[in-house]
Amino acid sequence: MKRPLALRLSALSAATALAAAAGIALTSPEATAATGGVTGYATQNGGTTGGAGGQRVRATTGTEIHAALCGRASSSTPIIIEVEGTINHGNTGKVSGGSCNTAAGVIELKQIGNVTLVGVGAGAVFDQLGIHIRQSSNIIIQNVTVRNVKKSGSPTSNGGDAIGMESDVRNVWVDHATLEASGGESEGYDGLFDMKDNTQYVTLSYSVLRNSGRGGLIGSSESDLSNGYVTFHHNRYENIDSRAPLLRGGTAHAYNNHYVSLNESGINSRAGAKVKVDNNYFEDSKDVLGTFYTDQRGSWQVAGNVFDNVTWSSPGSENYPAGPNPQSTTTVNIPYAYTPDAAGCVPDVVRRTAGAGTGLQVSDGNCTPQTPAPDPSTPTTPPPTTPGPTEPGGANLSLGAGADGSSKADGTSYGNVRDGNLSTYWSPSGSTGSVSVKWGSATSVSRVVVREASGATGVVRAWRLLNADTGAVLATGTTAGTATFPQTSLKKITFEITSASGTPRVAEFETYAS
List residues with catalytic annotation. Answer: 243
Q: How does strand 79-87 pair with strand 113-127?
A: parallel
Phi then psi for 36, rounded to 5 degrees?
Answer: -85, -5
For residues 403 and 504, what is the distance between their CA atoms, to the nearest angstrom? 17
Task: State the burial class of residue 339 (Cβ atoms within 10 Å of its Cβ: 0-12, 13-18, 19+).
Answer: exposed
Contact (Cβ atoms closer than 8 angstroms) between residue 98 and residue 73: no
Residue 194 pairs in a beta bridge with 164, 217
Contact (Cβ atoms closer than 8 angstroms) between residue 295 and residue 318: yes
What distance, in Å, lies between the first and last C-alpha atoms of the chain? 48
Phi then psi for 509, rounded to 5 degrees?
Answer: -120, 90
For residues 204 and 178, what is the distance between their CA atoms, to the nearest angstrom? 11
Closest CA to 109 of 199, 19, 212: 199
Closest CA to 504 of 450, 459, 449, 458: 459
With H, G, I as helix, E, B as strand and everything else as coil, classify residue 68: helix
For residues 18 and 478, what is the distance between their CA atoms, to the nearest angstrom? 29
Distance set, CA 500 to CA 123, 348, 458 (Å): 19, 29, 9
Enclosing H/E stretch for 351:
helix 346-353
